[in-house]
Structure 1
Amino acid sequence: MPTPAEPARLREPAPSDGTGQPPEPDLRHHGDAEVRGTKGGSTDLTDLAVNVRAHTPPDWLKARIAASLDGLAAYPDGRAARRAVAVRHGLPVERVLLTSGAAEAFVLIARAVPARRPVVVHPQFTEPEAALRDAGHDVTRVLLGERDGFRVDPAAVPEDADLVVVGNPTNPTSVLHPAEALARLARPGRTLVVDEAFMDAVPGERASLAGRTDLPGLVVLRSLTKTWGLAGLRIGYVLAAPGTVAALERAQPLWPVSSPALAAAEACCAPAALAEAAAAAEETAGDRAHLLARLDGFPEVRAVRPAEGPFVLIRLPGAAEVRAGLRARGFAARRGDTFPGLGRDWLRLAVRDRATTDRFVAALADVLAEQGPAT
């Protein structure tokens, strides 16, 4: 097995012949699967598995989306939304591409960006690697380790990597990498993809590279689905050099973003919306601190720190059984073993309000007491 800082070649699923090799992680497993009923229906679970901000979208945003329905007979026109995103980041419109959620951007990159040696820094959101594999790429993994706090080391990325994908803040670790460290990964001849899907949940969006135009090959991905509760609407965007934007746009189908999603994008880039998002980020930071403080009451639970996203990653013995026990008590948590570099002892927890956290902690205490001391 590779050490945490070493690149690992992509492996096929391990055979079930008693070799002892761990199975290949399920890259297509996502948090929404934890919340669904066993037959695909809805449940009454308290959702700690999906990193979408609770009690969203707000009423004013729902009203803007609803108003757009009167124009559904016309084909979508993304020019106003594209300008709004450009103004929001201080960029020319030629550097903006609207997408059907940030996840679509990974597919576009895998299909349209030439790469001989793509590298994905793990553990992180698994769709980038899945998209690259689907496009026929042989993917190299760079695995970050717990002993180093899951912090990225630019020196661990192979020199000949011509496409590098990294999250910031990273899902599921909640680690915020310094902008300077990520900037060191940029170089001529390399495409550097930074997934900033959760950056608007970081107070001040510190460490963001979204407005940078001086780094060669930089591609920044953003999502509007997390903070604004628009996962079902699908809206995100790419920020990159005009040539890269044009190449990705050619790989898109016609009218890839619906009129309601375009209306949402324009609305979420308005000054009042940005102020609301900033306030929500500060509130989330306080709620996260409360969750971490409560988790400190369990000696068997270890949380990754410092956490900067709207979720925390924890390690505890028997996490798979704990997750099942929590589900029986009405809480859905995200399993960690589907993320390369983690295993069965990891869970990801979305940050919720303090009352919800207190109810969760009581349920966790019951589960751990029922299971008894770890052996």
Structure 2
Amino acid sequence: MPVDLRHHGDSEIGPGLVDLAVNVRQGMPPTWLRELLATSLSDISAYPNADRATRIVAGHHGRDPEEVLLTVGAAEAFTLLARVLATPGRAWSEPAGYEPGGSGSALAAPSPAGLPVSRPVVVHPQFTEPEAALRAVGFVPDRVLLPDPFVLDASLVPDDADLVMIGNPTNPTSVLHPAATIASLAREGRYLVVDEAFADCVPGEPESLASVRLPGLVVIRSLTKTWGLAGLRIGYVIGPPELVAAMREAQPLWAVSTPALAAAEACVSPRAQAEAFRWAGEMADRRRVLVDGLTALGAYVVPEAQGSFVCVRLPHALQLRTLLRERGFAVRRADTFPGLGPEWLRVAVRDDETTAAFLAALKEARDDLPA
């Protein structure tokens, strides 16, 4: 059954609604980051230069600047990657001197063979923009649909897949896959693309592959979620230098604005990383309150949620979504994610007071359902 791959949480919100549909941290950006962004406007008359921010982001992950490309949010990264991989003759291999087992590598492996993409695979349920970007340039990717509880089984990925895309933690299921399981999918002649937009929701990011070099591994990160910068648009790609260079060539000149570059530097600073670590721990406590409340109301929540959202199965979920809107709460329908159906919703983690009000509204909505 066709699904709307371009449906996202922002289309659910509206005036007067409490936003539980968008996975962006509320109350952000913090004052210190707002002030830094305001200061960056003093340089707004000059064309943006991404060199320094690229070096800082690369250094944060123990990578070389040639392995990093700053992008207009993670969404642009998927678009650029799709365009590069769809370009005839765009096969690539790493240049002489590139060492897969070099600094920052926890899992050493040889270089990719640089074969053209012919069988892309997207592991679902996951963020739909990667597949939408592939389809926009003519690819028709196969879908690997993980069964509930949506934990990655590497054996489900076809051996001949030469492009594999997966999220970690995965949107919308909030499942965190072991890094070793994802890494086992890397091999010669294959691009392995990992969407780590919510990696900083997990204290210490234990399953991140951003500092690991593997054949064909591409990690895509976002700074818009934790730091409330969805309107600023800033993210980045980490991958083999030749592939990153091809994406840089495909990117419009001066794509990332001066304030966004300033944000990129600030959000990987020690101060920001310490704050993100504390927030991730606090958010985990709030997520537990939400999960316990939903479970008490008879909802099924995908186990071991690790993101800033939970994936919930409820009878009559779409009707409940409408009744919740009437009570002032917006939640994200999840039937637009391949592999999920109309009984699924995604709910963002908020403060305990908001969660209590939402759970009360959900109970009322459930009780008001027609028999």
Same fold at TM > 0.5 = yes
Q: Distance in 2 between matches of 1:206 and 1:170?
A: 15
The corresponding residue for 1:238 is 237
Q: Distance in 2 between matches of 1:89 and 1:243?
A: 18
Deviation (angstroms), 1:115: 1.3
1:77-130 per-residue CA deviation (whole Å, 9 max, x = no partner) reads 111111110121111111111000011010111110241111000010000000
Partner-residue secondary structure (3-state), 1:102: helix
1:155-183 per-residue CA deviation (whole Å, 9 max, x = no partner) reads 11111110100000000000000011000
Deviation (angstroms), 1:372: 5.2
The corresponding residue for 2:348 is 350
**AA partner of residue 32 (structure 1):** D
Deviation (angstroms), 1:269: 1.1
- Whether 2:193 is the aligned partner of 1:190: answer no
Choose which of 40, 43, 49 in structure 2 pairs with 1:77.
49
**AA partner of residue 368 (structure 1):** R
Partner-residue secondary structure (3-state), 1:347: strand
The corresponding residue for 1:221 is 220
Percentage of matched positions with identical amino acids:
60
Deviation (angstroms), 1:228: 0.1
- Whether 2:98 is the aligned partner of 1:126: answer no
Does 182-191 or 113-122 show the bigger shift? 113-122
The corresponding residue for 1:371 is 369
- Whether 2:9 is the aligned partner of 1:31: answer yes
The corresponding residue for 1:66 is 38
1:281-332 per-residue CA deviation (whole Å, 9 max, x = no partner) reads 1111110011111111112x10000101000000011100000011111100
Q: Distance in 1 between matches of 2:66 and 2:126?
A: 29
Choose which of 11, 28, 38 in structure 2 pairs with 1:56.
28
Structure 1 stretches of 4+ with a deviation exceeding 3 A read none
**AA partner of residue 30 (structure 1):** H
The corresponding residue for 1:178 is 178
The corresponding residue for 2:103 is none
1:222-244 per-residue CA deviation (whole Å, 9 max, x = no partner) reads 00000000000000000111111
Q: Distance in 1 between matches of 2:258 and 2:208?
A: 28
Partner-residue secondary structure (3-state), 2:311: strand
The corresponding residue for 2:164 is 164
Aligned residues: CA RMSD:
0.8
The corresponding residue for 2:105 is none
**AA partner of residue 153 (structure 1):** D
Q: What does residue range 281-300 of structure 1 map to in structure 2 within 5 Å?
A: 281-299=280-298
Q: What does residue range 39-54 of structure 1 map to in structure 2 within 5 Å?
A: 43-54=15-26
The corresponding residue for 2:258 is 259
1:124-158 per-residue CA deviation (whole Å, 9 max, x = no partner) reads 00000000000001210000111xx1011111111
Number of corresponding residues = 341
Q: Distance in 2 between matches of 1:31 and 1:366?
A: 23
Unaligned segments of structure 1, at least 5 residues: 1-21, 37-42
Q: Distance in 2 between matches of 1:307 and 1:73?
A: 44
TM-score for both structures, normalised by structure 1: 0.90
Q: Distance in 2 between matches of 1:155 and 1:165?
A: 15
**AA partner of residue 152 (structure 2):** V
Q: Distance in 2 between matches of 1:30 and 1:187?
A: 32
Partner-residue secondary structure (3-state), 1:314: strand
Deviation (angstroms), 1:339: 0.4
1:325-345 per-residue CA deviation (whole Å, 9 max, x = no partner) reads 111111000001100010110
Unaligned segments of structure 2, at least 5 residues: 86-115
The corresponding residue for 1:143 is 145
1:231-274 per-residue CA deviation (whole Å, 9 max, x = no partner) reads 00000000111111101111101011000100111111110011
The corresponding residue for 2:98 is none
1:186-240 per-residue CA deviation (whole Å, 9 max, x = no partner) reads 0010000000000011111111101001x11000000000000000000000011
Q: Distance in 2 between matches of 1:284 and 1:271?
A: 20
**AA partner of residue 217 (structure 2):** L
Q: Distance in 1 between matches of 2:361 and 2:119?
A: 46
The corresponding residue for 1:152 is 152
Q: Distance in 2 between matches of 1:178 and 1:269?
A: 23
**AA partner of residue 307 (structure 2):** G
Q: Distance in 1 between matches of 2:138 and 2:355?
A: 43
